[in-house]
């Protein structure tokens, strides 16, 4: 397949590959959006696949579905997950993805640089606080600066339309974006999470941590007389 900078489906790989996972509530679908930075050094973010997970998935069943998607991409992705509404979900995800897991706590405020190291069974994960308005406006900014490329399919248009239909309300605390009645923004928010992660100042650290964990350990050589007998 010939590389086309405007079509992420032709990119040989992403640098790094990211799966952004928005966790739906009881009436919403959880989502997974796959993409990342362009591999040839251009300042482009590619969104290759957008998926809505089946309704009614919770806990380990939802995590297992996400793991199936991850395996299609050779289990090489950074997994960026919205942990705002279910902190216990991190325990299940960590058992499946380990150090590849990065948490986002989406709140009213935050630019995504402040974080806490949250303890989970068997280790810990980084959880970054990021404002919902910040995520939306940052994604809008990279779209306006022509830094995002979508795969051309109905799900991409669905995600884009979700963000385009958000209603802005000016309050004393700042701008708040809400969905029109009966609509959802899960796919759109996952796109915004992916873009934020792709340009995050710590993305290089996340990538290095993953590869360090996978690098085989070299056995220490023995020294002295014991090494010769």
Contact criterion met (CB below 8 Å) for 102 and 197: yes
Is pTM beyond 0.85 here?
Answer: yes
Q: What does the alpha-carbon distance between residue 188 and residue 138 come to, in Å, rounded to a whole number?
A: 13
Provide the domain count of the chain. 1
Q: Does 8 fall in a domain?
A: no
The pLDDT, as a whole number, for residue 172 is 76
Q: Does 86 fall in a domain?
A: yes
Between the CA of residue 58 and those of 31, 65, 88, 137, what are the distances in Å?
12, 10, 11, 30
Q: 179-214 pLDDT, tens per residue?
A: 888 788 999 999 999 999 999 999 999 999 877 766
Q: Does 68 fall in a domain?
A: yes
Residue 174 above 90 pLDDT? no
- Name the pLDDT band for 146 (thresholds 50, 70, 90): very high
- Name the pLDDT band for 56 (thresholds 50, 70, 90): confident
Q: What does the alpha-carbon distance between residue 21 and residue 115 come to, in Å, rounded to a whole number?
A: 18
Q: 13-54 pLDDT, tens per residue?
A: 999 999 999 998 766 789 999 999 999 877 999 999 999 999
Q: DSSP code of 100?
A: G
Contact criterion met (CB below 8 Å) for 89 and 121: no
The pLDDT, as a whole number, for residue 216 is 59
Strand 167-171 to 174-178 pairing: antiparallel
The C-alpha angle with vertex 194 and arms to 211 and 216, in degrees rounded to 5, equals 5
Q: Does 220 fall in a domain?
A: no
CATH number for the domain harbouring residue 56: 3.30.420.240
Q: Does 136 fall in a domain?
A: yes
Structural domain that includes position 118: 14-215
Q: Does 123 fall in a domain?
A: yes
Q: What percent of the chain has pLDDT over 70?
A: 92
Q: Does 45 fall in a domain?
A: yes
Q: 100-125 pLDDT, tens per residue?
A: 999 999 998 999 999 999 999 999 99
More confident residue, 79 or 173: 79
Q: Can you tell me the mean pLDDT for 142-156?
A: 95
Residue 219 above 70 pLDDT? no
The pLDDT, as a whole number, for residue 212 is 74
The pLDDT, as a whole number, for residue 218 is 55
The alpha carbon torsion through 143, 147, 153, 157 (nearest 10 deg) reads 0
Residue 9 above 90 pLDDT? yes
The alpha carbon torsion through 169, 108, 62, 210 (nearest 10 deg) reads 130
Q: Does 9 fall in a domain?
A: no
């Amino acid at each position: 397949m010939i590389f086309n900078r405007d079509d992420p489906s032709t990119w040989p790989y992403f640098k790094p590959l990211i799966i952004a996972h928005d966790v739906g509530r009881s009436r919403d679908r959880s989502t997974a959006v796959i993409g990342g930075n362009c591999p040839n050094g251009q300042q482009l973010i590619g969104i290759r696949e957008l998926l809505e997970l089946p309704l009614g998935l919770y806990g380990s069943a939802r995590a297992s579905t996400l793991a199936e998607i991850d395996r299609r991409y050779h289990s090489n992705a950074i997994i960026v997950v919205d942990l705002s509404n279910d902190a216990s979900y991190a325990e299940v995800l960590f058992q499946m993805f380990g150090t590849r897991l990065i948490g986002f706590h989406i709140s009213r405020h935050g630019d995504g640089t402040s974080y806490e190291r949250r303890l989970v069974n068997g280790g810990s994960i980084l959880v970054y606080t990021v404002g919902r308005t910040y995520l939306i406006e940052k994604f809008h900014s990279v779209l306006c600066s022509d830094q995002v490329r979508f795969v051309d399919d109905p799900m991409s248009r669905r995600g884009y339309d979700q963000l385009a239909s958000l209603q802005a309300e000016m309050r004393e605390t700042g701008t708040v974006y809400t969905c029109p009645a009966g609509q959802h923004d899960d796919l759109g928010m996952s796109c915004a999470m992916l873009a934020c992660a792709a340009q995050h100042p710590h993305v290089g650290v996340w990538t290095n941590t993953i590869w360090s964990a996978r690098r085989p350990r070299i056995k220490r050589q023995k020294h002295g007389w014991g090494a010769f007998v």
